Amino acid sequence: MTDYVEGAIQSIAESIRFDSSLQKATVGAPFGKGAHDCLVHFLSLAESLGFETHNYDGYVGEVLFGTGPEEFAILCHLDVVPAGDGWKRDPFGGIIEGGKIWGRGAIDDKGPAICCLYALKKLKDEGFVPSKKIKLIVGCNEENGWECIEHYEEVASLPEVGFSPDADFPVIYAEKGILHVRLHFPIERAPFLFLEGGEVANMVCDHCEATPRTLTLTRARALNLETTAKKIIAHGKSAHGSTPEKGVNAILPVLRFFEPKSPEVRYILECLFEDRYGLTKLSDETGHLTISPNIIKFRKHELQIVCDIRYPATKRVEEVHELLRLFGVKYETLRHQEPLMQDKDGELVQTLLSVYKECTGKRAKPVAIGGGTYARALKCGVGFGPEMPGDPPLAHQPNEYITFPRIELLLKIYRDAIEALTK
């Protein structure tokens, strides 16, 4: 094992130990102390490796390598989604065990960010002089709105070309559009006193609970709901909001419990879980539209439900809005990001495919995903790793990890890719 791999392993473990999920802002820490401290750790590490760094007000940082007239971006993020339930190890312990580093952010996206940093270090030590100014940019708000990138564009110059190591191999040439909406379903005679579940919009709800006006134990048991003296509780399985089929949504069985007692709840199920108005029929080469109801709250005679919608890259967001308006309820847009679509035969995609083949021995074609990466912030950007075809889903799930062999492979792939694109 090389010094670079060993260094990356220790640095990833250290980074995981910062809970960099979104927290209350403080002076100099717009996304909370954990994200701030994680950013400082990363930039301090980069400085110790001999790089120039900048911290832009706690929103985002950058590591610079080279002085060429053109610029090239490597876009990563250090923030994470909340840990959620179901962990067998401390999600912020950075535990090294069994040839793996365990913890939230290991694969999404602290591990790849640090692998890119050590790839730059290896190139630097080899005497490589890039023809472009390489900017390794690390944001702290990727999971919750991209305020970090917005701030970066205000105070620095964002390159036009680059990649984000926050997706899948071989190369991601297209990403669906992202639309987060909050729907307000009226519930005039609610069969519950309390109903709440979910933490963030882009993570499948893994815990939901309610206080029924009448607790029917037989129905609760039939739906595998946990019960207390007054509550029903559903435990699901978290997953990335772009792939809801890989998770188990805890909101569904809770709504099913109340379905016989409320036509309004029945209508919500039809709209959001049974696709009454055909949203998922929208499709193209990037796949079908997906909709994942991930946060639910009972407030003032209505159920407020936040949904993560990923729509096909060649479709217009207005087509989605036309279908949402058929629900006949008030809703608001919380977040919208336009799709990404790059030329499959362009220089960026083909160069990265060539590097992937050289490093893995596998010939592959570029692919499209429902997830959203920083790549879409660039005029010409793509997603490039760290996950391989056939990997178990790890991002936004409990027991997230990255293996030592994957770290070693990422160091080689990213080293070669950076050299090929900036020589």
Instruction: Give the angle 126-130-136 at the CA atoms, nearest 5°.
Output: 95
Q: Which two tokens stand for residue 395?
A: 């991002």
Q: Which two tokens stand for residue 112?
A: 């790849």
Residues in a beta bridge with 306: 182, 295
**Catalytic machinery residues:** 79, 142
Query: Is residue 161 a contact partner of residue 380, using CB atoms and an 8 Å limit?
Result: yes
Q: What's the distance, CA 342 to chain centroid?
A: 20
Cis? peptide before 109, omega within 30° of 0: yes
Q: Which two tokens stand for residue 320?
A: 């989605």
Contacts of 337 (CB under 8 A, 6+ apart): 146, 177, 178, 372, 376
Query: Is residue 236 a contact partner of residue 248, using CB atoms and an 8 Å limit?
Result: yes
What is the rounded distance in angstroms from the CA atom of residue 331 to the CA atom of residue 345? 40
What is the rounded distance in angstroms from the CA atom of residue 254 to the CA atom of residue 230? 14
Helices within 139-247 (DSSP H only)? 147-155, 217-222
Query: Is residue 132 a contact partner of residue 68, using CB atoms and an 8 Å limit?
Result: yes
Q: Which two tokens stand for residue 381?
A: 């950007």
CA distances from 168 to 99, 308, 373 (A): 21, 20, 11
For residue 203, give the DSSP letter: B
Q: Among 148, 167, 173, 145, which residue's Cα sits nearest to residue 158?
A: 148
